[in-house]
Each structure stands twice: as C-alpha cells, then as structure tokens.
Amino acid sequence: RHAGLTWNEENNYASGLDNPNTRGLTEQGKLVIKKMQELGMIIDLAHANAITFNDVIALANGPIIISHGNTKALCNHRRNYTDEQLLQIKETNGVIGICGIEVFLSEDPAKQNVAHLAAHIDHAVKVMGIDHVGLGFDFCYYLYPGVTSNNVEGLRSIADVGNIFIELKKLGFSNQDIEKIKHLNFERVIQTILK
C-alpha cells in the first residue's frame, strides 16, 4: 500500500536521480499512478528526479509523501528537496520524512549531527508548516556485517532517536509539535489514503 515508481535508476515507469534532466513519468508510469490511487496506495517521491516529481504532482490527487529526504536549503545534495518542492508536497496535504543520513545533512562533517538534523526539520516546518514534516530516518547500517553506526553524531543508532526531540525543544518546538513530527503527521496521511 506504499510505493515509489523508481529508486535512483530509470525504469519503464519513471526516472530517478541518475537521470536528472531528460525523462519523467512514462505513459506506463502514468497508468501506474492512476492505479495506485484507485487502490488507495501511498505515493512516495523519494529518489524521483525533478521531472518525475513534477509529473506525479500534476497527475495525482490527495497526499503525496517524501518518505526520506532533507532540505536543499541546508545541504545541496541531489537527494534533498528545494523549498518549491516542499511547498508542492504541502499543497497535496502530504509529508516529508527528514532523514538521518550524514551526507544528506551537510557536506561539512562538523554538521553531520543530530543538531543539524533538527535544523533541517526546523527549516522544513518554516517552509511547509508543522503539519507536513515527519521523520524518515533511512537507518540501514544494520544491513552490513560489522557496521553498527549511522555515522551521525548524536544519532548513531535507533537508540539515539530521543536526542532529536531534545534538539527540537531547544529550537522552541512544543510537545504537540513534536508529537506531530514523531508520528501524527504521517498517521494523518495513512488514515486519509488507507481507508
């Protein structure tokens, strides 16, 4: 009930970030989006290139998500999103899940930490509003033999997630705001789509 049409690659349906400029949704991809909506599936634009992103936004109705990604304003990584794209997600009543991958946080190793992850959340909230930002860690260190860390200072493993909420408190987020970021915003999308 939750899918994206592509990872970074190009396939029969859409193009990911490995093809940034020449192709978005194919005709088959458009049919897939329509079918996903008929079936009540969550559409995820993580890894989509800008053309695919715009094609899906133009075609789909209802909430669309970015399950894991950060803000280009704070880190100009290809997996991060412009303020304009964040506003497009907001207009669908969707949510972005801010990600815990160090290279999505900053090119500067000194900012690859939980405080800077909170800064990405803060920026996204300033652009989109509190109802459209959540968490999308993309923890996958445990998939690799001998790897025990996510390489983000203060968020090295899932056990450190509470540190995010400490940082958000420092930035002035209320308990209600934090609950929305923790789970309520994504729950709203799930309840809207998975009827």
**What pTM was computed for the model?**
0.95
pLDDT at residue 37 in the model: 96
For the chain, the DSSP string reads -EE-S-SSSB-SS-BBTTS-SS----HHHHHHHHHHHHHT-EEB-TTB-HHHHHHHHHH--S--EESS--BTTT---TTSB-HHHHHHHHHTT-EEEE---HHHH-SSGGG-BHHHHHHHHHHHHHHH-GGGEEE-----GGGSTT----S-BT-SSGGGTHHHHHHHHHTT--HHHHHIIIIIHHHHHHHHH--
C-alpha dist (Å) from residue 57 to 65, 94, 151: 10, 11, 33
pLDDT at residue 15 in the model: 96
pLDDT at residue 150 in the model: 87
pLDDT at residue 118 in the model: 98
pLDDT at residue 21 in the model: 80
Cα separation of 9 and 78, whole Å? 13
Pairing of strands 95-98, 133-135: parallel
Backbone angles phi, psi at 15, to 5 degrees: -120, 135
pLDDT at residue 169 in the model: 98
pLDDT at residue 148 in the model: 87
Q: Which amino acid is at 171?
A: L
Backbone angles phi, psi at 2, to 5 degrees: -145, 125
C-alpha dist (Å) from residue 69 to 31, 94, 103: 26, 14, 11
pLDDT at residue 189 in the model: 98
Each of the 195 residues of the chain gets a pLDDT tens digit; together they read: 999 999 999 999 999 999 878 899 999 999 999 999 999 999 999 999 999 999 999 999 999 999 999 999 999 999 999 999 999 999 999 999 999 999 999 999 999 999 999 999 999 999 999 999 999 999 888 889 998 888 999 999 989 999 999 999 999 999 999 999 999 999 999 999 997
- Give the burial string for 77-87 (b: 16+ CB within 10 Å, else e): bebbbeeebbe
pLDDT at residue 60 in the model: 95
pLDDT at residue 82 in the model: 98
